[in-house]
């Protein structure tokens, strides 16, 4: 079941919420049981068979967590073996369902054999609930958290607003909220905040992201078929996908936070205007923040982090991003995307090291310097998204060749004819023309340019709702003021009739745009 579906919006969500509010008045434990049943139903809507997988995964990890939480029952060596076995079993299940086909395909190419495992259907959200439970096992081993009731643990894993595509939450973040629950006097406040955030997210997904997809998909399909793309067409497609992915993931994150808030639960912030970043480090502080946190705490730091000298630090950064790319999908294009961001981070850290060595002035950057840094970062991110979206290397290279101008600079003849003297100047500069495609070209940039301005300059949902702390983990990086660009606008939500009308408008537009249900892009990961 998808957030952006009639079944979810008009049946599942209101019925689940109503049942929760009624039951919670009588019994907290029964309300938790109700949410677990509803969440399992939500997950099983896609394919009931895989309910057995997620339930078995929960039972197994709960057992390992119980063993790890028993202080004094096992020696340190035994506890390490228990943790290692638990992580191995989790990664084995993930590896089979997500990577076995990819591995066998590459073995067949190398050896020339034709071995086939048959069709393996990727279970929904397996990457998310696997990483979430690995984090729980590690935290249990460290003594950070313990779980006494399977029912509570089941809700931690399956809570439907964050089950499918994150955020990746920690047990210590969620359990106190599940056990405490919302106070009766805050129910109306939680509902109004949650509905507003959910409506904004639905608008982002159904109106903005899905319309941007109309101008990204044809370009990537043309590249896949081997068609040569000129400069403006290639950039139009790449930017359209860049905006599609942004508003798709931002929309999902808002809908997850809004949906959880209706139940009085605050989820961690997972998305915070990443296209405002003026360096790649800042980008990863703002994009898929809970995945970045997981990779930092459970991979980068255990590898040694930045404590073993610059060379090993760069190695750790590269390996972390390489595995982060592979987490997103079983394909070499995802590996290259992760490797690219590994190189980006190495270059960024090396540059700051050089600046420090040269005793460069650390005063706040000028507006011009920020703009240049932003442009470099943004272009680097867009180049990475080409590999992220492309189905294979050849189609990615076709788009990148077009973006680099290798296939020339051309505009639709109808567009050029309407540019007047500017058109004459462009012809003199070597810009050619082609017949047809004028409407598609114009509509592409009519979508791309405003969406880019919104993503880069406007406040995001969390900033608009900041007076009411919509997320569990607000974004606090004091140095970020020097590493992002933004436009200050007086947009602060409050429970007034004007904001209620705004919520009704964007929610209605979002529902009306649901002519065809499209999956969120991060569902495939």
Task: For residue 328, indicate whether it is catalytic.
Answer: yes
Residue 215, Cα to own-chain centre: how many angstroms?
Answer: 21
Cα–Cα distance measured from residue 143 to residue 136, given in angstroms and rounded to the nearest whole number: 10
Cα–Cα distance measured from residue 441 to residue 432, given in angstroms and rounded to the nearest whole number: 15
Cα–Cα distance measured from residue 57 to residue 194, given in angstroms and rounded to the nearest whole number: 30
Residue 8, Cα to own-chain centre: how many angstroms?
Answer: 21
CB atoms within 10 A of CB 15: 11
Active-site residue identified among 170, 171, 272, 328? 328
- Three-state helix/strand/coil letters over 210-226: HHHHHHHHHHHHHHHCC
* Buried/exposed 397-406: b ≥16 CB within 10 Å, e otherwise: ebbbbbbeee
Cα–Cα distance measured from residue 509 to residue 505, given in angstroms and rounded to the nearest whole number: 6
What pairs with residue 297 in β-bridges? none
Determine phi and psi for 292, rounding to 5 degrees.
Answer: -60, -40
Quick one: which of 9, 477, 457, 467 has its CA closest to 201?
9
Cα–Cα distance measured from residue 106 to residue 88, given in angstroms and rounded to the nearest whole number: 23
DSSP E strands, 206-293 = none
In angstroms and rounded to an integer, the radius of gyration of the C-alpha atoms of the chain is: 24
Quick one: which of 162, 182, 158, 171 has its CA closest to 23?
182
Burial class (CB in 10 A: 0-12, 13-18, 19+), 299: middle
**Cα atoms in the Cβ-side hemisphere of radius 13 Å centred on 314:** 11
Cα–Cα distance measured from residue 413 to residue 435, given in angstroms and rounded to the nearest whole number: 6
Residues that are catalytic: 328
């Amino acid at each position: 079941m998808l957030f952006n579906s009639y079944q979810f919006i008009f049946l599942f969500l209101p019925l689940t919420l109503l049942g929760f509010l009624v039951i919670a008045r009588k019994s907290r434990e029964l309300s938790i049981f109700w949410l677990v049943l509803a969440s399992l139903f939500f997950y099983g809507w896609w394919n009931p068979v895989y309910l057995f997988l997620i339930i078995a995964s929960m039972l197994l990890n709960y057992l390992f967590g119980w063993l790890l939480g028993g202080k004094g029952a096992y020696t340190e060596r035994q506890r390490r073996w228990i943790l290692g076995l638990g992580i191995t079993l989790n990664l084995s299940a993930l590896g089979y369902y997500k990577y076995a086909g990819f591995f066998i395909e590459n073995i067949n190419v190398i050896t020339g054999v034709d071995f086939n495992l048959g069709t393996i259907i990727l279970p929904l959200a397996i990457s998310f609930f696997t990483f979430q439970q690995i984090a729980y096992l590690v935290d249990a081993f460290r003594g950070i958290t313990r779980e006494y009731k399977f029912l509570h643990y089941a809700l931690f894993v399956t809570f439907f607003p964050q089950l499918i595509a994150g955020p990746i939450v920690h047990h210590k973040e969620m359990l106190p909220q599940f056990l405490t629950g919302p106070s009766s006097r805050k129910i109306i406040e939680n509902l109004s905040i949650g509905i507003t955030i959910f409506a904004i997210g639905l608008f982002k997904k159904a109106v903005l992201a899905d319309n941007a997809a109309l101008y990204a998909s044809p370009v990537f399909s043309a590249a896949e078929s081997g068609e040569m793309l000129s400069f403006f067409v290639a950039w139009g497609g790449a930017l359209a996908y860049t905006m599609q992915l942004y508003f798709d993931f931002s929309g999902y994150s808002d809908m997850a936070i809004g949906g959880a808030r209706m139940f009085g639960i605050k989820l961690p912030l997972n998305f915070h205007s990443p296209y405002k970043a003026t360096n790649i480090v800042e980008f990863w502080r703002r994009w898929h923040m809970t995945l970045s946190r997981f990779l930092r705490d459970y991979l980068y730091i255990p590898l040694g982090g930045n404590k073993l000298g610059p060379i090993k630090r760069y190695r750790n950064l590269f390996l972390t991003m390489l595995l982060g790319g592979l987490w997103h999908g079983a394909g070499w294009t995802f590996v290259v995307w992760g490797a690219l961001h590994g190189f980006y981070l190495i270059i960024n850290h090396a540059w700051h090291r050089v600046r420090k060595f040269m005793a460069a002035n650390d005063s706040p950057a000028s507006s011009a310097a920020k703009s240049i840094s932003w442009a470099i970062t943004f272009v680097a991110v867009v180049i990475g998204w080409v590999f992220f979206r492309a189905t294979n290397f050849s189609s990615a290279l076709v788009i990148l060749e077009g973006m680099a101008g290798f296939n020339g600079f051309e505009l639709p003849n109808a567009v050029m004819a309407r540019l007047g003297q500017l058109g004459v100047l462009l012809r003199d500069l070597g810009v050619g023309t082609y017949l047809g495609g004028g409407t598609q070209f114009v509509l592409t940039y009519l979508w791309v340019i405003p969406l880019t301005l919104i993503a880069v300059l406007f406040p995001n949902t969390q900033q608009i709702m900041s007076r009411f702390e919509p997320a569990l983990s607000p974004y606090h990086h004091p140095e970020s003021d020097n590493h992002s660009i933004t436009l200050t606008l007086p947009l602060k939500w409050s429970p007034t009739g004007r904001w209620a009308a705004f919520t009704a408008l964007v929610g209605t537009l979002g529902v009306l745009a649901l002519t065809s249900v499209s999956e969120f892009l991060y569902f495939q990961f």
